[in-house]
Amino acid sequence: MTKLVLVAKDAVFHCARSRRSTFRSSCVFGLVDIVQPSQVQVSSHRGFAALISSLQPEARQLRSVFAAAGHKFAATTFIMASQNSRPSSDMAKFRECFGRAKHIVVLTGAGVSAESGVPTFRGAGGLWRKWRAQDLATPEAFADNPSLIWEFYHYRREVMSSKSPNPAHEAIAECEKRLKPLGRRVVVITQNIDELHRRAGSENIQELHGNLFKTRCTKCGDVRVNRDSPICAALAGKGEPDPKAEDARIPVEKLPRCQKGSCGGLLRPHVVWFGESLDQEVLRQTSEELEKCDLCLVVGTSSVVYPAAMFAPQVAGRGVPVAEFNIEETPATDSFGFMFQGPAGQLLPRGPGCQ
């Protein structure tokens, strides 16, 4: 099967050409569509639609105009590269790349923390009480029932306080520590909110989705670290995940409140909820790191969550080696130079040479 990788400034698409001359597009936004050779149509959970006209498999460059609700996409040149090879699993070759790299970016997702026993709230049985995480992790849910949402996050904070970094976190942190005196930089860009990278010793961290142990005031916007357990007296002993547990129905005035001066505003977890935009400063710094890196490691990610799913394919698109460490292949696997399959905690200490 011939793989066609379309790389753009704002998006990346991976298309596998079948014998029937149709394309299955595994978009970095996490969607799978059947696409005809003459047309690509993509939609996303963020609500925008894009149309690439006159797709010709032989073309080297394509012009495309994106019509995007809330997004400013101009006419974009797509570079289409035909690749027939699968990612390498040659650890010796990867070590050579690692040995030459001066600026290493490590992209991490839920798979890293799962090895520490962190609940993912995904798949069958991934509920808190009777709720799915995506039903609770929204600004609308917080506005409607802040007591319930704080119970959920109090439970998650208490669980995370009992977990420890695993060998994958430790290997990444050790790489940063060992390479820093040599003038080599290691940066973690994580989708996780659990702070396990920091607890393992990593210092250069970009937290795309926020931090479970930070709060933000809904009134004055003050953000600060808060590791209190419980975060407020009214939440002590609350948050039981049992479906039969009753909601605490805590009065809003007894929920976590802002301590900045005399503000007293209602606090919320400093995390990115569904429907919210990522912090622009975090995105700016992340973009700078990705532009500078000469090696990228993708560890424990599903490669379906936008915009993080774009990062590694974009890096690969400019010729930088990308190595994936995961228990299974993802929609982006075929665009990478290396793929090492298995638990990250077992692979990473051997891979990056951070024993």
Q: Within its chain, how far is the Cα of 300 from the centroid?
A: 9
**Residue 234 CB partners (closer than 8 Å, separation 6+):** 248, 250, 251, 254, 255
To the question of whether residue 133 is assigned a binding role by annotation, the answer is no
To the question of whether residue 113 is assigned a binding role by annotation, the answer is yes
Task: Identify the three-state secondary structure at position 308.
Answer: helix
What ranges in the chain are assigned the alpha helix state H?
Answer: 91-100, 110-114, 133-136, 139-144, 146-161, 167-179, 196-200, 280-292, 308-317, 344-347
- CA distances 135 to 153, 156, 216, Å, are 13, 15, 20
To the question of whether residue 311 is assigned a binding role by annotation, the answer is no
Q: Catalytic residue among 14, 154, 209, 270, which?
A: 209
To the question of whether residue 353 is assigned a binding role by annotation, the answer is no
CA end-to-end distance (rounded Å), the chain: 38
To the question of whether residue 317 is assigned a binding role by annotation, the answer is no
To the question of whether residue 87 is assigned a binding role by annotation, the answer is no
To the question of whether residue 47 is assigned a binding role by annotation, the answer is no
Backbone angles phi, psi at 62, to 5 degrees: -130, 140
To the question of whether residue 237 is assigned a binding role by annotation, the answer is no
Looking at the DSSP bridge assignments, the partners of residue 79 are 7, 61
Pick from 31, 15, 11: nearest CA to 23: 15
To the question of whether residue 326 is assigned a binding role by annotation, the answer is yes
To the question of whether residue 296 is assigned a binding role by annotation, the answer is no
To the question of whether residue 127 is assigned a binding role by annotation, the answer is yes
Q: Is 45 a catalytic residue?
A: no
**Residue 334 CB partners (closer than 8 Å, separation 6+):** 3, 5, 14, 16, 83, 86, 87
Pick from 29, 194, 186: nearest CA to 112: 194
To the question of whether residue 222 is assigned a binding role by annotation, the answer is no
To the question of whether residue 143 is assigned a binding role by annotation, the answer is no
To the question of whether residue 171 is assigned a binding role by annotation, the answer is no
Question: Binding site for substrate, residues?
Answer: 153, 156
Q: Which residues are catalytic?
A: 209
Question: Binding site, residues?
Answer: 109-128, 153, 156, 191-194, 217, 220, 258, 263, 300-302, 326-328, 344
Question: Binding site for Zn(2+), residues?
Answer: 217, 220, 258, 263
Question: Binding site for NAD(+), residues?
Answer: 109-128, 191-194, 300-302, 326-328, 344
